[in-house]
Amino acid sequence: MNVQTTEKSREQLHEELRKPDVITGSEILLRSLLLEDVDCVFGYPGGAVLYIYDAMHGNPDFNHLLTRHEQGAIHAADGYARSTGKVGVCIATSGPGATNLVTGIATAYMDSVPLVVITGNVATSVIGTDAFQEADITGITMPITKHSYLVRDVKDLSRVIKEAFHIANTGRKGPVLIDIPKDVSNATCEFQYPNSVSLRGYNPTVTPNKLQVEKMIQAIAESERPVIIAGAGVVAADASQELLEFVEKARIPVATTLLGLGGFPSSHELWMGMPGMHGTYTANHALQNCDLLIGIGARFDDRVTMKVDGFAPKAKKIVHIDVDPAEIGKIVETTIPCVGDVKTVLQLANQKVQAAQSDAWIDWVKTNKQEHPLRYIDSDTELKPQYVIEMINETTKGEAIVTTDVGQHQMWAAQYYKFNHPRSIITSGGLGTMGFGFPSAIGAQMAHPDRLVVSINGDGGMQMCSQELAICAINNIPVKVVIINNQVLGMVRQWQEIIYDNRYSHIDLAGSPDFVKLAEAYGVKGLRATNKEEAQRAWAEALETPGPVVVEFVVRKGENVFPMVTQGSTLDQLILGDSE
């Protein structure tokens, strides 16, 4: 189904798809996905899913993108989901096909991304016999899925699919796995797709306890030094406008986590930047001096809090708003818990919230922002990675969808690209998955064919899924692929320099391929820059090129990400680097 399908044609398609025909499990699967308005499925065929792929043959309504590795498929589905808020879908065969999805499932689970992951399995008659390409994928993935299904009867399949989409995209979102044995995909029954879902024991709390919201409002009114940490939950709940209204009414400075970037506009006077290990001076010092801390859709990850028993030591009260009750009090002791959907909580709060007594505090924050901005020592002889990110930000005016891989370039992108819109940064936060950045950009680009999608990668992570360049070339997917090449595992090198006394161990990537030739080998334009002039010229050419482009920026090998808080330190114990 084309992404641009009109509502009228969609209604017509749904009417056709709901016809109660006797069809195979494979056809049930495809119909059900179309009824869930799935625009694109990412996958890789194999023996156990051949009936499913056979059903795709000649189906003009079903859009499938063949990746070059199952991990590329699930990361693409993840990028699709993060950039749209819809459920991402991928398909793989049994055994190694399914196990190749495990890293992607864990990535989505850690970052609460809604996916429906479909795997094939051996026939039900041989499950448990160590048949060819058999793996217990439901058992393997149990700790990293919201729920898993092994469908043993074709009559259950449509119900299971309906439930899977509901579970994946409600409450705290996450991946759901559906394992379909080969004989089930070929069995037949009358197709009836459920209109609704009712699951006993699964009723996520959406509406909060109003008394807790009242307590938060009272705490704000009494506060002189309030701070908000806004996380991925703000984006997942589509609550950016509600947060903006809340902040402006309550007059509270905001720090956005890595996955919360864009959930509150970086151009706003009350935005302080990202907190934590590589957070800004202003955000970290504000957290250490606040008298009221409000966590909104943030789980107080260890890279945000750093030394937990030294985190926010002056906060008399800590409010935690989260849809998942298991997160509240898990890391940081919470004074006022607010369990509920972030959007709903903020809508309730906005009806009554009054400004904090924060005028002097806001002046203090603004002074810190002016006196301690992000800094780096620029160079006219070497290309600095920070300069590259700033250039990308300026030329795209902060309007691109930016995906990143994991490492130093990820932190530079978070620091120097200014995100003003939700769902404009796609990055692996919780699991820190190298190889994620490029295929996730493909998923985002498939979801937004008219948007500029920029994938920022290191020379290490790029080599983990570079084979997906093939599908960009074949399908003319116009992702602009940036490689920040410092010829080393940069973040590992930085830790070995600062924490391990310059004992550099197995980090040299100097033997990497010529990325320009690699791109060209796949039929993609490749460009390289080693100084500012070349960088500007190459990037301009990339933006003017209608199709996919790889741009390699050869940067200084020894550049570090600052500020930095080392493990075991508190947030105000920042290493600022040579620039301060």
Catalytic residue among 86, 133, 316, 573: 133
Distance CA 105, CA 298 (A): 20
Catalytic residue among 27, 36, 70, 134: 70
Query: Is 343 in the active site?
Result: no
Dihedral over Cα of 234, 238, 241, 242: its sign:
negative
Distance CA 320, CA 330 (A): 11
Catalytic residue among 162, 182, 418, 480: 182
Query: Is 533 in the active site?
Result: no
Q: How far is CA 344 from the centre of its chain?
A: 22
Catalytic residue among 132, 241, 314, 352: 132
Q: Among residues 195, 202, 190, 168, which one has the least CA distance to residue 90? A: 168
Distance CA 553, CA 480 (A): 13
List strand residue ranges (DSSP E) for 358-413, in order: 401-404
- Sequence-ordered list of residues with C-beta below 8 angstroms from that of 151, at least 6 positions apart, any chain: 25, 157, 160, 178, 179, 180, 181, 184
Distance CA 340, CA 538 (A): 47
Strand order in the sheet with 115-121: 64-66, 41-44, 88-92, 115-121, 175-181, 147-150
Count Cβ neighbours within 10 Å for each residue of 488-509 and write b for 16 or more, e otherwise. bbbbbbbbbeeeeeeeeeebeb
CA dist 6 → 34, 89, 375 (Å): 14, 21, 48
Q: How many residues are listed for the chain in this entry?
A: 580
Q: Among residues 276, 280, 277, 286, which one has the least CA distance to residue 226? A: 286
Residues 9 and 30 sit within 8 Å (Cβ to Cβ): no
Q: Please name the residue that has the structure tokens 């970037």.
A: 261
Query: Is 182 in the active site?
Result: yes
Q: Among residues 253, 345, 251, which one has the least CA distance to residue 296? A: 345
Catalytic residue among 216, 391, 462, 491: 491
Residue 400's Cβ-count burial label (10 Å; 0-12, 13-18, 19+) is buried
Query: Is 133 in the active site?
Result: yes
Q: Identify the three-state secondary structure at position 234.
A: helix
Catalytic positions are: 70, 132-133, 182, 491
